[in-house]
Each structure stands twice: as C-alpha cells, then as structure tokens.
Structure 1
C-alpha cells in the first residue's frame, strides 16, 4: 500500500488520540475539535478495514491492531520530528535540554556522571533548574524532570530511575564517634536532619529502638546541606544512599551502626504525557535509563 500525502494528518490525529487514549485531549494538542479527531480516526479505520479503537461509555481503548499501528506511527513521527529538527540550523534551542531536579541529586549523583553523556552527545547542551518548588511543565518550561516521590503525578509520564535507602553517617571528627557501637549509641549523638518525609524517628523505629529522646540539634531544607553539616562534625546525619556516595568515598563521612531503611519514595524521570519528547531530550532520558544502578 502506497502512503499518500493525505494520510499524514489522519495518522497524526490517530497517533495523538492513541497516546492520550482520549479524543478531546488529542484535539487540544492538535488545535482541532474532538469531532475532527474522531473523523480522522474513522476515516483511517475505513481505509484499513479494521477497528483501531474500542469505544465505550467512559472513553476509548486501543484494539490490538490499533496498538500495532500506534507504535509504528509514534516511531515514524518521532523520527520525522528528529529529521525536521536537524534541518533547522537556525533554531538555537534544538540541542538544548532543560531539566528540573533536586539540588542534592544534581550535586552528588548526576554531576559526576554528566561527562559520560557529553562525551556521547557533545552537541547537546543541558540546563538545570534545582529550585525547591515543583516546576510546571507548560510551554516554555523544562523538557523533563527527575523527581523523588511516589511515582505518579497528574498529567506526567513517569519512569522509575532508581530506588533509595536511608542509613546513619557521621564525620570521623565527630566527638564520641569512636565509642558508637550500636543503635542506642547513635541515638545519644547530636543529630542533623533535613526536611524529608522519612527521618530519624522512622529509622530508629525500624532499628527497634523505641522511646529514645533524640537530640535533633540542626535541621536543613536540603539534604546536601545536612550532609555537609555532618561532615563538619556538627552531628550524625541520616544519609540517602543515592547522594552520600562522594562523602563516603573521600572519607568525609563514615557509616554508623544500624539497618538500611528502604524509602517509601524513589527517583523518577518525568515529562508531560501530552507531548512527545524532542529528540535531544529523548537521548538524555535514554541515557539516564541505561545507567547502571548499583
């Protein structure tokens, strides 16, 4: 079957409807009416002689044939976007990827790994936003984000990047550290905390120590500030496995006795569900997901 030019708007409408599983959302993305999207889909079904969607009271769902065509259409349109983008030599934003993430993760986990990405893709420029507030992914906003959370956010596609865990650390210079032999000894130390949802009380409960009066001496909004405070000897900190690595590697902090507590939240790559990633942003996502997570 020869693909004629008049198939392109029909396939574009179908691909958007398949991605959203919703004609109205596809219409909003394509600046059409829902009835126009529905017309394109029915026209495509008539040409192919197969049903692409199952229609029911609560919306639509892809048939097996629809899923096959949706995958092919999505890949083809993404490839076409990439080719068209590569021809826009005057578009200064083409190879720029904007990422929103936590300062703690960018500083200790992501930064040491970025040279490997830039060696693979020297043409791509990265821009990071590490503000505390969650960034809106509207037009003009970031391409994607790395969030620490439950894994589901309204309007966003989320891919699990890695899990996390908590355990206590302290500086070798912390007074009394040499005498710390068990969990009760950790509880007797001055403690540094951050604003994470899981903290010292959760860890001591998991360690089996109940009713201890904790001396939470200092508190910081950012996890890296808490680790830096612990590294100066201000107290023991409850470290995140994914961001404490550099501190342990250079000896600024050492592990203290006690269990490793798995966190209720993990790290996810997120981006708007209503639009495809630009090729440069997709390359960055693919690279992140290919990283070995130990």
Structure 2
C-alpha cells in the first residue's frame, strides 16, 4: 500500500510523537498543538488500518506495529536530513572563499575594505587565515592568498597587487620628536623593529647614513604590532606605507624626517596554477585587483 503525498506530514508528526512517546512534547518540537498531533496520528492510523499507539490514562505508548513504523520512519527521515545537509553544505562551499594573508595586511588594509566587497557580493562567504606559516595550497586549503614577496612561487599564479614604501613614524607626543631634523638624529632614539627582511639598517643606508650602529630596542614578529607599539609611545618604528595608512589617518602616528624607501618586495594575489578558480573565488580576486 503506497502512502499518499498528503500523509507525509502525518508520518513526520508520528515520528516525533513516537520518539517522545508523548503528544505534548511532540507538539512543542513541531510548534503544533497537542490536538493537532493527535489528529495527524489518527489520520495515519485510519489510512493504515492499524493502531500505532495505545492510549491510557498516563499517556500513550507504541504498539508493536507502531514500533515497526517508528523505526522505519526515523531511519528514512534521518537519511533525508543527511542528504539535505550535504546539499546545503555543497551550496555553502560553492559560495565560500578561503583566503590566506599576513595578519598586518588583513588588520590594516584588507578588513577595512571588506564591507565594500560584502555589499557587492552579499552571498559570498569569506574564511580569512592569518597564520604566520606559509600556507600550502593543497586540496581543501585556501583558494586565494595575498603574499608579500618577489612575485613568483612554485605552483602558484601571481598577479601584482601593489608596491610598498618604508619610512620612520612615531606617536605625535614622542619625546624629542621636534628635535629630529635629519635621519641621523633617529640613532639617538629607541628604535622598534619587526621581522621583515628589510629593516632599519637598509633605511639608514637609503637615507645616506652610512656606518651607523643600529640599536633595535624592541622587536615584534608582526608589523602591525610594531606600529601599535610605536603609537603607544614605545619608540620609533619603520612603517610600511600600506600598513601604516590607518594609523597616520587617525593621527595615532606621524611621519618623521627622512626619505621614503621603496620596498624590495611587493604584494601579490596568488592562487593554485593547476586548478581553475571557482566563480566566488574569481569574484574575490577581481575585486582585490581593483583595490591595489
């Protein structure tokens, strides 16, 4: 005997009632009334021609036939739930873009721009990874990355995004700031460094200060942490233009006398060369390249 389509809602209600062995609890789960649950169950019993529950003063309990149907209905609904979850997961993954980049660039450059991306592509979801380790673009790994380097990495396609420059900065109230008139004057101040391959020694050479002994008083692994330390009055930092822009705009840092040194490396948008970008990732790459 085939179940008619109109009995499927009754079967779902029965499965809940059988699981709880209580019409009131099933009604709460399904946002129905207890009488509506009872109606659906009686409708199913009438269609099948068997009693599914024994009614008694203390409530209800399954009959042997009810137990048999409850086991089958529970298994079938669980299977359907699993399939629906897989379909939704596929749809969610199709619209999700996994991005890897530097914490400093994400914090000061990328995240402030993301509201524009979200407005233009409201259905695309982003996963942002800012781990220090160089991420591998394996299967299941990131779709897109923003890397700072020479512009060529094995197995990756790379598109130039933007160049950078470096110059000294300090908090507006940094003691002795007014007395700094020449790059050499910075040698008498506490210098803050990060782990970048270009640093204070390179900048002093570019500024024409040769043979200087550079005392890096504080060192941070991340560029944005070094800038934050300078903004809190810990010393003078060598800023990257792209990273320092929001600090300068907010007046938390000011430029000090001296040249702007062109950074040796640039920022690039990268992704695996061996696989085609999914549409959502391609939209993100196109948007990124507009921002440079």
User: Is TM (by shorter chain) over 0.5?
Assistant: yes
Match of 1:166 in 2: 166
Matches within 5 A, 1:1-294: 91=90, 92-291=92-291, 293=292
Distance across 2 between alignment mates of 1:158 and 1:265: 13
For residues 229 and 89 of structure 1, the distance between their equivalents in structure 2, rounded to whole angstroms, comes to 45
Give distance in 2, aligned partners of 1:233 and 1:262.
26
Q: SS of the residue aligned with 1:213?
A: coil
CA RMSD of aligned residues (A): 1.1
Question: C-alpha distance in 1, partners of 2:162/2:107?
Answer: 17
Higher mean alpha-carbon deviation, 89-98 vs 271-280, is at: 89-98
Q: Which runs of 4+ in 1 moved over 3 A?
A: none
Q: Which secondary structure state, in structure 2, belongs to the residue aligned with residue 119 of structure 1?
A: helix
The alpha-carbon distance between structure 1 residues 125 and 212, as it changes in their structure 2 partners (threshold 3 A), is same
> C-alpha separation between the residues in 2 aligned to 1:250 and 1:263?
23
Q: Give the deviation of 1:213 after TM superposition.
A: 2.4
Task: Show structure 1 runs of 5+ residues with no match.
Answer: 1-87
- Bigger Cα Rg: 2
Deviates more, 1:177-186 or 1:145-154: 177-186
Distance in 1 (CA, whole Å) between partners of 2:261 and 2:212 is: 18
Compute the displacement of 1:185 (Å).
1.2
- The superposition leaves residues 90-136 of structure 1 with CA deviations (integer Å, 9 ceiling, x where unpaired) of 51211100000000000000011000000000000111000000111
Give the aligned length: 205
- How far residue 214 of structure 1 moved from its aligned partner, in angstroms, is 2.2
Secondary structure at the aligned position of 1:242 is classed as: helix
Q: CA deviation at 1:287?
A: 0.5
Structure number with higher helix proportion: 2
Contact 1:186 1:257 in 2 (8 A): no
**Greater alpha carbon shift after TM alignment, 183-192 vs 101-110:** 183-192
- Structure 2 length normalisation: TM-score? 0.69
Distance 1:202 1:172 in 2: 24
Look up the SS of the partner of 1:168 in the other structure: strand
Measure, in 2, the Cα distance between the counterparts of 1:208 and 1:199. 15
